[in-house]
């Protein structure tokens, strides 16, 4: 103790405090989700959290790391929650468990644990599962779950048959499929008029979940846990490309607002591309990272085969993050306008 180095005063900050605040910021989105879509999400959150904690504990023990210190950092919970929020709410329990195990064991600990993972673990889980179980991962309730909570629980636990009626597609996916089937005969305005699926701006119910994420994200920004760069650039990228195509052919391409409030756009903008471990860290790097991820997410979601493109866009950008960071090192004090 006697030779502890300065500074002796420390700000009240810790990794667990950071993670707790991220979880808190997810609450508005989760609340809207549980209220408008169905309480099944709460079950999924519990399943994912328990799995993540168990996997984290097992891996820490295997790696000979202090359990209490790392289990309490809360990072596994954040990963678990992001997995639960990106998986279909009525996905069978084992799908969420598989995804979470993949995220914690392979994407996190095999790369060296907290702070060492080159890819966002939740997005790795999503990508791995959508490639392995494309049918199950695409079964989304197109509108709120109109069944009692107990039935929802039974479907998740596999105690009740998976009813076809439950297994629609996301509003985003539904639109893509409808446009494809109609082969240019249907225009978007007509599709959006279907009030069973679509609400005021985007998917019915889902649009409010997205706004919940937006509120949580703004709170994180206000708390200075994230900076504006990546979210704004991500939204900018998404708006730019979707806006351009919408202006070019409004009948076949939905407007930017629809894209902002659909799928994983806002969850991604504030909670996934802001992951500091796997993302860029320099201000300019964050702008590039966010912008490119926004473009890619749109391209994959519209022209690709998957229901949404955020996960793959993020993983692709994770790959490029170290290089972007290296090339965007900011000028230091006293070197303004000079080559550093």
Give the interface with other proteins as residue ranges (CB under 8 A): 1-11, 13-15, 17-18, 66, 69-70, 73, 75, 113-116, 224-225, 227, 276-277, 281-282, 329-336, 338, 340
What are the C-alpha distances in Å from 18 to residues 22, 23, 273? Answer: 6, 9, 16
Our CB check for other proteins shows the closer of 21 and 252 to be 21
Our CB check for other proteins shows the closer of 118 and 199 to be 118
Dihedrals phi, psi of 87, to nearest 5 degrees: -90, 155
Sequence-ordered list of residues with C-beta below 8 angstroms from that of 133, at least 6 positions apart, any chain: 95
Q: Residue 6 Cβ, how far from other proteins at the closest point, in Å?
A: 5
Closest by CA to 290, choosing from 272, 263, 302, 308, is: 272
In Å, how far from its chain's centre is CA 97?
17
* Contact predicate 231/217, CB 8 Å: yes
Q: Residue 53 Cβ, how far from other proteins at the closest point, in Å?
A: 18
- Please give the Cα distance from 127 to 287 (Å, whole number): 24
Q: Residue 121 Cβ, how far from other proteins at the closest point, in Å?
A: 13
- Please give the Cα distance from 175 to 185 (Å, whole number): 13
The token pair at 340 is 């550093």
Q: In 3-state terms, what secondary structure has residue 15?
A: helix
Q: Residue 45 Cβ, how far from other proteins at the closest point, in Å?
A: 22
For residue 248, give the DSSP letter.
H
Our CB check for other proteins shows the closer of 11 and 180 to be 11
Our CB check for other proteins shows the closer of 16 and 252 to be 16
Our CB check for other proteins shows the closer of 248 and 333 to be 333
Dihedrals phi, psi of 309, to nearest 5 degrees: -115, 0
Q: Residue 335 Cβ, how far from other proteins at the closest point, in Å?
A: 6
Our CB check for other proteins shows the closer of 116 and 249 to be 116
Sequence-ordered list of residues with C-beta below 8 angstroms from that of 295, at least 6 positions apart, any chain: 237, 238, 240, 241, 313
Q: Across the strands, what pairs with 203?
A: 198
Q: Residue 224 Cβ, how far from other proteins at the closest point, in Å?
A: 8
Our CB check for other proteins shows the closer of 61 and 190 to be 61
Q: Residue 209 Cβ, how far from other proteins at the closest point, in Å?
A: 26
Query: Which residues in 104-213 belong to E strands, given as ranges?
Result: none
């Amino acid at each position: 103790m006697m030779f502890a180095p300065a500074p002796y005063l420390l700000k009240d900050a810790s990794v667990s405090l950071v993670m707790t605040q991220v979880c808190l910021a997810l609450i508005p989105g989760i609340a809207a989700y549980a209220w408008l879509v169905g309480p099944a999400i709460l079950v999924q959150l519990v399943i994912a959290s328990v799995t993540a904690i168990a996997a984290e504990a097992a891996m820490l023990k295997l790696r000979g790391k202090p359990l209490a210190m790392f289990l309490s950092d809360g990072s596994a919970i954040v990963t678990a929650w992001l997995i639960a929020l990106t998986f279909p709410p009525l996905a069978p329990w084992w799908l969420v468990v598989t995804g979470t195990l993949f995220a914690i064991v392979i994407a996190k600990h095999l790369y060296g644990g907290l702070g060492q993972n080159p890819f966002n673990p939740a997005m790795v889980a999503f990508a791995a599962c959508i490639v392995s179980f494309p049918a199950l991962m695409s079964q989304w309730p197109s509108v709120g779950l109109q069944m009692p909570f107990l039935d929802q629980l039974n479907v998740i636990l596999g105690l009740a048959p998976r009813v076809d009626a439950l297994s629609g597609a996301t509003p985003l996916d539904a639109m893509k499929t409808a446009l494809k089937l109609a082969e240019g005969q249907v225009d978007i305005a007509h599709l959006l008029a279907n009030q069973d699926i679509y609400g005021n701006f985007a998917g019915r119910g889902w649009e409010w979940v997205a706004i919940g994420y937006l509120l949580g994200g703004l709170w994180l920004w206000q708390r200075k846990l994230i900076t504006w760069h990546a979210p704004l650039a991500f939204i900018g990228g998404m708006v730019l490309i979707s806006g351009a195509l919408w202006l070019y052919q409004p009948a076949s391409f939905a407007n930017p607002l629809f894209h902002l409030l659909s799928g994983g756009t806002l969850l991604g903008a504030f909670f996934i591309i802001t992951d500091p471990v796997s993302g860029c860290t320099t201000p300019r790097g964050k702008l590039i990272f966010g912008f490119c991820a926004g473009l890619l997410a749109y391209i994959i979601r519209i022209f690709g085969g998957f229901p949404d493109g955020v996960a793959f866009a993020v993983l692709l950008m994770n790959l490029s993050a170290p290089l972007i960071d290296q090339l965007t090192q900011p000028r230091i004090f006293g070197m303004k306008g000079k080559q550093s």
